[in-house]
Structure 1
Amino acid sequence: MANYVKELRSFVGSRPIILVGSTIAVFNDHKEILLQYRSDTRDWGLPGGAMELGESLEETAKRELFEETGLTATSIELIDVLSGEELYFKYPHGDEVYNVIALYIANEVSGKLVMNDGESLDLKYFSLEDLPSQLEGRAKIIIDKHFI
């Protein structure tokens, strides 16, 4: 979790906050989408996370992609900014957020998939026709709206 968010949580506890961040979609040569099996929610989601102070949304997307997957994106494109009641989320430990998500797609990616931040239990590419049943709600909204 971002240091800024940790500090904010020390003041507001688990009450709902507006959380701004980025999500990045990565496709392989077979047009399969990269998903991460998350350690906090125990379901499949897209790489992404909260913006740090002074960081741009694009920087957030690239940082989160690297931290969560080991991949480096040299070219990304803004697809959408999503917000609203359907992006409310309550984490298993009780923290509540209303997400504002800048969605990017990676056009050029390099590196090897590695899990080194403790947020991912697995990383895997999936066909859009054969997504896992344990797909996290926000990821489902994004994939249904933009990729199916």
Structure 2
Amino acid sequence: MGYIQELRSKIGHDPVILVGAVALIHDETGAVLLQKRTYPRGSWGIPGGLMELGESAEETVVREFQEEAGILIGNLQLFQVYSGAQVPSIAKNGDLYYPVTIAYEAELLSAEWQIDPEESAGFEFRTKEKVPKRLLRNHGKILMDYFERLK
């Protein structure tokens, strides 16, 4: 049982604060790698996930890229930390949580894609003008801040 499942077995569905990490990777045109998620269906987000006990934020995002896409990332540089959501996020099982998201800039070190269909419907590089409308709640702010930095 993972950390989050163990925590939920003790506290039920009450809202909690969960820490996650994402990685912003752009190509030579300035397009950013986005993940089409399986949940919420049809939504998009920046690749990453929630931290497990004993993991650093950097280890979290590297693990998530390996699990979800089979790719290796590296050269992580802290971009920004996002917190303070006024409305909780809702997990697939209905659990409520307030995210603290640590965003990194990173590079692809290997690109032998092995997409996990449980979590991902695909990955695409998208420009600012072609960012999907159905983004995970706090990912829109992260992307807009990042595109501003790339100018």
Instruction: Give the TM-score, by structure 2 length.
Output: 0.88
Extract structure 1 runs of 4+ deviating beyond 4 A: none
Q: Do the aligned partners of residues 16 and 119 (structure 1) sit closer, same or farther apart at CA in structure 2, a change above 3 Å counting?
A: same
Matched pairs, number: 147
Counterpart of 1:99 in structure 2: which amino acid? P
Give RMSD over aligned pairs: 1.8
Could you say which residue in structure 2 is the equivalent of 1:94? 94
SS in 2 for 1:19: strand
Tell me, in whole angstroms, the C-alpha distance in 1 between the residues paired with 2:127 and 2:117: 25
Post-superposition Cα deviations, 1:20-47, rounded to whole Å, max 9, x if no partner, equal: 1211111122221111111121200111
The 5 Å alignment of 1:48-67 reads 48-67=48-67
Tell me, in whole angstroms, the C-alpha distance in 2 between the residues paired with 1:128 and 1:100: 23
Q: Is the 8 A contact 1:77 1:107 kept in 2?
A: no
Question: 1:86: how far off?
Answer: 4.3
Could you say which residue in structure 2 is the equivalent of 1:147? 147
Tell me, in whole angstroms, the C-alpha distance in 2 between the residues paired with 1:70 and 1:31: 23
Deviates more, 1:96-105 or 1:81-90: 81-90
Question: 1:19: how far off?
Answer: 0.2
Post-superposition Cα deviations, 1:48-106, rounded to whole Å, max 9, x if no partner, equal: 11111111111111111221222211211111111102473123431111111111011
